[in-house]
Structures are given as structure tokens and as C-alpha cells.
Amino acid sequence: MSTESFKIGQRVHSLNDPCRVGTVKYIGGVEGYSGTWIGVDWDNDGDGKHNGTVKDVFYFNGRSQTSASFARSEKLSSGITLLQALELRYQTTSTKDEEDEMYVLSAKNKRVSIQLLGGDKIQDKLSRLDELTSASLPFLGVSSLGGVSSDLGSVLPNLKLLDLTGNLISDWEEIGALCEQLPALTTLNLSYNSLSSEVTSLPQLKNIRVLVLNNTGLSWTQVEKLRPSLPALEELHLMGNMISSITSTSSSDDQVFNSLRLLNLEDNCISEWSEVLKLSKLPCLEHLYLNKNKLSRIFHSVNGNESSTNSSVPFPSLRCLLLGANNIGDLASIDALNVFPKLVDIRLSDNPITDLARDGVPRYVLVARLTKVQVLNGSEVRAREKKESEIRYVRMVISKFNNKPEEIELLHPRFNELKKLHELDDEIASAENTRPKNIPSGLISITLKCVGPSMGEKTPLTDKLPSSMTVKKLKSLCENLFKLRSIKLRLLLHEEGSPFPTPLDDETSRLLDAGIYDGCTLLVDEES
């Protein structure tokens, strides 16, 4: 291609590598070299050689120290049309050389050609574009429709899902024309396209139900400009867009995405829960994904106080909230989740509150404090686990805050409710509802299982032990029972539904205080 075919701001890819995508930032001469060069700022760090400055001469601003480079025009491609990509992907037959590359080695190290059973029929069906219901065209260099006048509707009348990940599309007007011409299209993936911030001239796209805009560089304000054109949108994915605020362009409630059921904001930069609460009036929102943000605190009203009226209850339809890999570390934030009336599926993994090494709490405490939880960190919370967790939690609170009702009420808002629910009182808080009636008060049944690599095969033992026994005394007992005097032991609590066992590192703690309950299993390991 000639230099005249390129312009500043244009999306291009390396001629021999459609996955190496960037933006033209400079066209002109380079000191010390002849001819005209194209300066490209590549999307991926490391795809370039510098930051736009070469030998102390500034040409353009690169995103990083290794994102920019210069290339001759013939080494770059400004892309192909959508129809060309479809033909390349679905109508190109394999060459003789490509077929020769499909082989396995025999026992005598000779090539045996592979013939795909039914391959001709599959290729024939895919090549009939009018029968395609889904098309995947990632990183093929698609930059245009090939003219807005092209009749895509007659070529792809049944296409419902179109994946254009990692192409060269940026113009919203062309995106709108694409959707208009595909009457059956309901799902569109434009991830890893550098989309224009000027969201204008979009028609009504009444059939689009799922829109994926991951890593497109769009802010929430720009996304909100799409709302009038997407009245039926049910899923919106916005991962990796550096979104830090939910800034609305209108204060009117009728400006929100009224049909939206799933909103994916993972891997962004939201740090304030007040920003999340701006989404709380979405009437149909059932799934909100906020993994890998910067949230440290949760509350359920803008000023941090409880809402006083039912009309202001946030997220009325929310069932699933993913908060993994944030900075949440306080139990008050966990308690705040109980205000959401339908929330049953919660992810809190990779937060300080779940990391015992950072003063986090074990799974049973979370299960007990979350009123309606049915799935925690991807694992189902069954009725038995829920009941046992709540009873253990009550016993733990009693052991730590005996005769301090004011402190209990302040720090453990569900304590009295759970104590009444399971008919526990301060004297018999040793999980009477869960243990066999013939176990004397104060004794709990524990199964001890050796798992240390140098312990050999040892039969697990089940015994009834005093709940007042310390972890240190239990270690000594294990040394005698399993004849492990030469090994330094470590005890871990294995809980149903929890992916990792909980270490019992405080040797002075009583079994009751450590959350050991009747019928549990302790793993006897060795210190590493």
C-alpha cells in the first residue's frame, strides 16, 4: 500500500500478523533514514521498540517505552472488509500444502496422512453463508463492511452471533449500519477494537440483546450514550476499560438500561462503593460482576447509613454479585450485603476478609453472616453447611464475648437471631442440635486424618475430645496416637464446600474458639 492510503488515527495491523494491531500516530520522515515512514503505537507493550522518541528526536507519544515503532507502508495493512473476512474464514478451501501438514507418525516414524471424517460436509455447510447462525472472525483485520450499501442481510439472513474481537473497527456509524443490515443479529462482540469516543449517529438497534465491549477504551459516559439505541439490551460486558466512575449524563430514571440483566465491570478501576450504588436503580439487573477492581468497603446507601424506606432498597433484582480480588477487609461490608433482597450468589475470594494470613475469617463465618447466601465463592452452600456454620458461629461469639451483650450486638448483628433460630443458649452452645444425643455436653467428635508426605499410610481415627482442649494439646495427642514424635505437626480444618483447609496456627486457642465442631475432620500435616 502507498503512504497516501494511511492517515493519523487509523487502525492498522502488521501485514504478516493480524494479531499485531496498533494506531497510526505519525507519517513522515525519520532523521537518518530516507523516504516516508509510518509511526505506529501498538496495542501490546513489547510489540514496538521505543516510545515515539528515537535518538533524542520526538516524533509522537507512545503508550509505553516499548509500544512504538516505525514501518514502511508496504509492511502494514489497513484491513479487509467483513465479506472478505467471511470468505477467508468460511469459504477458503485448504491447499495441498496445508493438507500435507496434517499427519501423525507411525510406529516406524513414517508420516500417515489424516483425513477428517465428514470434513467435506462440514466445510460445505460452513461455506453456505446464508445458513450461518454464528460467525467468529477474531483478529482478521476487519476494518469496514465494504461499503454501507453492501446487502449483508441477503448474504447473512440467519446470523445471530458475530464475534469481531481484535479487528480494526472504530466507527460507530459503521457498527450501526452493520446491525441494521443483519436482522437476526442479537449478540455482537467488539472486544479489543479501539472504538471511537464519539458515539453518534446510531440507529435503533432493537434486536441486540448481548453487547461485548471488553478492552475497547470506552468510559461509562460514552457507554451511556449507546442506551437510546439499545432498548432491548440484556447483557453488557465492559471488562478492562479502566472505568473508575459511573458518571451519568442524565439524572432521569428513564435514561437507564431498563432491560439490562447482566453487567460485567470486571478488571476496571472502581474504588468507591458509592459509584457502584449509582447502578442500583437498574430495575432488572440480576448479575453484577466486579471482580478485580479496587473496592475496599461496601454499604447500602450513598451516605453509608441504612435506607429508611423500601422504595430506596438498592439492587431490587440482584441475585449474583462477584467481588473477588478487591480490597474488602471488614465484616461490616459483609453484613451490608444482607440488605439486597434477592442476593444469593456471592464471590469474595482473594480479598483480605477471606485471607486468614491477613486477619481474614474462615468460610463458616461468612456463611453464617450472609443471610440468604446459596453459593459462596463458586461453591454451593447446602442446608447442612448453612446450619452447622451458623451454630459454630454462635458458639464462637459466646466464647469470645461472654457477658458482653452490647459488644455482641454491635459487632455481630445476626447473633441473637441465630441463637434463637437454633435454640441455643449461653450454657449449651456446643452445637447440641448437630451432635448425637449420647455425646456428653462439652465433648465433640473429631476425625483425625494424616496427610503428611513422610507419615506413611495411617488409618484415620475418630475420637470424642473436650471442646476446651487447646490446639497444642491436640498436637501432642496426635503425636502419641500416630507415633509421630520426630515430626513437627500442623493441624488444618477440612470443611465441606471450602476449596482449601483452614490452618489452626494459634496453639493456645481452644478447639471451641478455633471453630472446631462436632463431626468435623482435622488434617494432620507436617510443617514445611
pLDDT tens-digit series, residues 355-384: 877 888 889 999 999 999 999 999 999 998
Written as nine digits, the cell of 61 is: 507519544
pTM higher than 0.85, yes or no?
A: no
- 433 or 1, greater pLDDT: 1
Backbone angles phi, psi at 482, to 5 degrees: -105, 5
Backbone angles phi, psi at 380, to 5 degrees: -65, 140
Sheet holding 443-450, edge to edge: 461-466, 443-450, 520-526, 489-494, 502-503
- 382 or 114, greater pLDDT: 382
Whether residue 57 has pLDDT greater than 70: yes
Note whether 11 and 144 are within 8 A (CB). Answer: no
- 431 or 389, greater pLDDT: 389
Whether residue 99 has pLDDT greater than 90: no
**Residue among 412, 351, 400 nearest 377 (CA):** 351
pLDDT tens profile 410-450:
999 999 999 999 888 654 444 344 443 333 457 889 999 99
In this prediction, residue 434 carries a pLDDT of: 42
- 252 or 473, greater pLDDT: 473
Whether residue 123 has pLDDT greater than 50: no
Query: Which pLDDT band, with edges at 50, 70 and 90, does 198 fall under?
Result: confident
Average pLDDT (17-34) is 93
CA 428: distance to chain centroid? Answer: 43
In this prediction, residue 308 carries a pLDDT of: 38
In this prediction, residue 14 carries a pLDDT of: 94
In this prediction, residue 404 carries a pLDDT of: 83
Report strand pairing: 379-380 vs 320-322. Answer: unpaired
CA 325: distance to chain centroid? Answer: 9
In this prediction, residue 310 carries a pLDDT of: 44
In this prediction, residue 430 carries a pLDDT of: 44
* Angstrom distance (rounded) from CA 161 to CA 378: 28
In this prediction, residue 255 carries a pLDDT of: 54
Portion of the chain with pLDDT greater than 90, in percent: 59
Whether residue 118 has pLDDT greater than 60: no
Written as nine digits, the cell of 96 is: 495441498
Whether residue 244 has pLDDT greater than 50: yes
In this prediction, residue 150 carries a pLDDT of: 61
* Angstrom distance (rounded) from CA 181 to CA 153: 5
* Sign of the C-alpha dihedral computed for residues 501, 502, 503 and 508 taken in this order: negative
Average pLDDT (213-228) is 93
Q: Across 114-128, 340-354, 386-400, which has the greatest mean pLDDT?
A: 340-354
* Angstrom distance (rounded) from CA 400 to CA 393: 11
26 Cβ neighbours under 8 A, 6+ residues apart: 8, 37, 38, 39, 52, 59, 60, 70
Query: Residue 4 in 3-state DSSP?
Result: helix
CA 146: distance to chain centroid? Answer: 36
* Angstrom distance (rounded) from CA 462 to CA 464: 7
519-to-233, 393, 507 alpha-carbon distances in Å? 49, 16, 21
In this prediction, residue 516 carries a pLDDT of: 84
Please give the angle made by the CA atoms of 510, 515 and 520, to the nearest 5 degrees.
Answer: 105
- Count other C-beta atoms under 10 Å from residue 334's C-beta: 20
In this prediction, residue 145 carries a pLDDT of: 79
- Count other C-beta atoms under 10 Å from residue 492's C-beta: 18
Mean pLDDT in the chain?
85
Whether residue 254 has pLDDT greater than 60: no
In this prediction, residue 147 carries a pLDDT of: 57
